[in-house]
Chain A
């Protein structure tokens, strides 16, 4: 099971998904209309490290986080 967390202002509960790669995750999230804008402007972290590619596989216990635009200070 892979956990997907939506951080900051994305008002959505975490998901637990049976997926094995990020392309599957992209397809699932793209089917959710409420996420369309967030998918275009959010960064993605795998186990709390930002990633720059959808390549590679996911394993049981992995955590994906979506990080929308930031503004600290």
Chain B
């Protein structure tokens, strides 16, 4: 069986600074992988490189998504193929209603996949249902995307987009940052509802706390741009106790 995501010896840099130094990772359908690591380990870089953010230079390695070379695809093609990045800091777009944005994104993806665009009433119905599940005030859908949203609202909005777009691979970049415990539970709940045998997830986090709510199948430690340890969910608890110091030394 082809892995959902296969990263082989990935090397990447930004502005001449080496960030990823030979990273290997395989994620199969139905699996949730947590990636933990100290600040500056390359966690966000990994998520951006997978999504195709401009500015990063791939200096080596390969990433296969369902067997296809991810680097051959433009960022919007990756999105249409099912790569979804939940941003650590979701962006604000003044003047563009959330619903307008959702429609634009969904239909752009459907068009690229050769599917029919969703009609406005159908879309509205689906978005409303999902919003209800996530405890999102329908009024928020009329407001400009993320503008004036609280940290919790922004992350809920990311989760809503993820649920609507039904990606194959979800990359959650520090989804817990800036969230209080109640907001964290709501978001984690939303993410858990998306767990499926057809879908893989990479949950990037600095803290173990998120993993109490989104329980991973595999936990990796990322340090200095490489996976330095892989284990079960207990590894996260162990890290909580010992910290990252040992890995930083190791990497250095």
Q: Do A and B bind each other?
A: no
Which B positions have Cβ atoms within 8 angstroms of A? none
